[in-house]
Homo-oligomer: A and B are copies of this chain.
């Protein structure tokens, strides 16, 4: 077990003695500590502290895997009967699988902002909805990402895949400006450009649908440079996998600790896959896309093993929001949860999540409440990094991960796609109870038999809120009689009031609007735009 020397930025393990008088900040070899002489020892140790870099090779590595529009019921290990996800299933078998893990938004950009900052999207201003290729805004640069938390400790940092937290004028909001040394990827959703003439499956199967016809073709960027436009979907996953495994092995070779963030485009619409996965699943285009992601997960784990750092790496997997049910058989599945993407029912925000760290995390299943918000504080705690000096909404998951213990998180607050102070949160989960103050369907969740999920289910206020016991009724089918749950409702009301009192809405970054001239174009001076933006 590791203890954190968080203020000093050092750590040590169980073979060293923890000096009880000094608290959890210090652990030392027994020879250094004469009985009752702890304070002197602290001074002594402070004097002989080695430069951070010299201990860098002992720091744990982090890989953060983030799937796109993947539902609670989409993985084999979460009960899907025809998904082929052997590597993610193995990750679950070797690690800790979460049953009650939440994203903070039922759509993409806000969810990603929370994951990387440990703060609700309302604080950072990443709302309403998502960023577009020409969005003027982005994740504000004064927000501190996980990469920026780790950089001061000497970590190598890389992002491969979908950013979707803004591009902005001159690439102001790209990952390279947010703590990532290296970036390879599409800076937003891969449907945010025309896709009808692109190939999504070999040999030449066109992508299904049209996507965003008015935007520039989807670019692939290396750091801040456009490498290819439009991106080649058939080659993309291999490029990502090679980039990611290369980053793992080169970091390990340098004995530099690393943080790899891999937000995949899979399984977002339009689904695509290269030759390794195309047609290989039994679940059609969605299944193939999922399998391609799963194959990369396998490649990354193999790279950890080959580089000798498997036992020193925490791999954490989850997804941004629920399935896009409107894509019918090409969309995901929220399993037994109600509705999907775009809604504040659990199907929109409850996600699969797995934490794996050989020898450190005991395999199993946890029913503890946790969230993407908690990833930053957990990583910071494990690495011994300082937390950003801003109000954080996340808590350290260490007790869950390393002791299968109780969560520090007591509540989860559900913001809709378009949070407004006037409405506040749409729903609150406190322990096993969930109160829906507002409900609303969404285009994204159209098409299943549950009418509540559809766009035609307009905003509805519930007073008292609809109350559910999510343990007895995870599908939110049977609301409880409020008269018999006054105490629960009172506690939820108090938690909601407390939370909303402490919530300061940041200026909306999405409402800064769109300037088509900001859309990434590999030949900036070309005409006519957007169609002339094509290279590589």
User: For residue A242, which residues in chain B have a CB less than 8 angstroms away from its CB?
Assistant: none
CB distance from A534 to the nearest CB of B (A): 33
In the complex, A209 has a CB within 8 A of chain B: no
In the complex, which residue of chain B has the Cβ closest to the Cβ of A75? B79
In the complex, A283 has a CB within 8 A of chain B: yes
B471 touches A283 (CB 8 A): yes
**Given known contacts A73-B79, A328-B478, A471 and B287 CB-to-CB distance under 8 angstroms:** yes
A449 touches B452 (CB 8 A): yes
Of B82, B93, B450, the residue contacting A450 (CB under 8 A) is: B450
A472 touches B79 (CB 8 A): no
Tell which of A119-127, A296-304, A329-337, A405-413 binds the partner: A329-337
In the complex, A312 has a CB within 8 A of chain B: no
Interface bracket on A? 35 or more
User: For residue A250, which residues in chain B have a CB less than 8 angstroms away from its CB?
Assistant: none
A80 touches B336 (CB 8 A): yes
A449 touches B447 (CB 8 A): no
Q: How far is the CA of A338 from the CA of B338 in the complex (A)?
A: 13
User: For residue A93, which residues in chain B have a CB less than 8 angstroms away from its CB?
Assistant: 93
In the complex, A246 has a CB within 8 A of chain B: no
CB distance from A219 to the nearest CB of B (A): 31
User: For residue A81, which residues in chain B have a CB less than 8 angstroms away from its CB?
Assistant: 99-100, 336, 367, 471, 474
Q: How far is the CA of A427 from the CA of B478 in the complex (A)?
A: 30
B469 touches A79 (CB 8 A): no
Q: How far is the CA of A472 from the CA of B478 in the complex (A)?
A: 29
User: For residue A334, which residues in chain B have a CB less than 8 angstroms away from its CB?
Assistant: 336
CB distance from A361 to the nearest CB of B (A): 17
In the complex, A473 has a CB within 8 A of chain B: yes
In the complex, A481 has a CB within 8 A of chain B: no
Q: Mark A79-117, 1 if CB is under 8 A from B, else 0.
A: 111100000010001000001100000000000000000
> By DSSP majority rule, is chain A's interface helix, strand, loop, or mixed?
loop
**Given known contacts A282-B367, A365-B76, A82 and B471 CB-to-CB distance under 8 angstroms:** yes
CB distance from A527 to the nearest CB of B (A): 43
In the complex, A140 has a CB within 8 A of chain B: no
Q: How far is the CA of A328 from the CA of B338 in the complex (A)?
A: 15
In the complex, A284 has a CB within 8 A of chain B: yes
In the complex, A225 has a CB within 8 A of chain B: no
User: For residue A469, which residues in chain B have a CB less than 8 angstroms away from its CB?
Assistant: 284, 329
CB distance from A190 to the nearest CB of B (A): 21
In the complex, A448 has a CB within 8 A of chain B: yes
User: For residue A287, which residues in chain B have a CB less than 8 angstroms away from its CB?
Assistant: 471-472
In the complex, A258 has a CB within 8 A of chain B: no
Q: Which of A79, A452, A474 gathers most chain B CB within 10 Å? A: A79
**Given known contacts A76-B365, A93-B93, A448-B477, A284 and B82 CB-to-CB distance under 8 angstroms:** no
User: For residue A328, which residues in chain B have a CB less than 8 angstroms away from its CB?
Assistant: 473, 477-478
Q: How far is the CA of A93 from the CA of B333 in the complex (A)?
A: 24
Q: Which of A93, A447, A449, A450 gathers most chain B CB within 10 Å? A: A449
Q: How far is the CA of A451 from the CA of B449 in the complex (A)?
A: 7
Q: How far is the CA of A317 from the CA of B497 in the complex (A)?
A: 48
B472 touches A283 (CB 8 A): yes
In the complex, A188 has a CB within 8 A of chain B: no
Q: How far is the CA of A281 from the CA of B472 in the complex (A)?
A: 10
In the complex, A232 has a CB within 8 A of chain B: no
A78 touches B76 (CB 8 A): no
In the complex, A432 has a CB within 8 A of chain B: yes
Q: How far is the CA of A474 from the CA of B450 in the complex (A)?
A: 16
Q: Mark A267-289, 1 if CB is under 8 A from B, else 0.
A: 00000000000000011101100
In the complex, A475 has a CB within 8 A of chain B: yes
Q: How far is the CA of A338 from the CA of B448 in the complex (A)?
A: 11
A333 touches B336 (CB 8 A): yes
In the complex, which residue of chain B has the Cβ closest to the Cβ of A365? B76
Q: How far is the CA of A72 from the CA of B365 in the complex (A)?
A: 19
Q: How far is the CA of A76 from the CA of B474 in the complex (A)?
A: 13
The 3 nearest A-B residue pairs measured at CB: A79-B79, A81-B99, A284-B472
Further contacts, 14 of them, CB under 8 A, given A82-B474, A328-B477, A329-B477: A78-B79, A79-B79, A80-B474, A81-B474, A82-B471, A93-B93, A283-B472, A329-B469, A333-B336, A333-B474, A335-B335, A335-B336, A449-B477, A450-B450
* Cross-chain pairs A/B with CB under 8 angstroms, 28 sampled: A73-B335, A73-B336, A76-B365, A78-B79, A79-B79, A81-B99, A81-B336, A81-B367, A81-B471, A82-B470, A82-B471, A82-B474, A93-B93, A282-B367, A282-B471, A283-B471, A283-B472, A287-B472, A328-B478, A329-B469, A333-B475, A334-B336, A335-B335, A335-B336, A338-B449, A447-B478, A448-B477, A449-B477
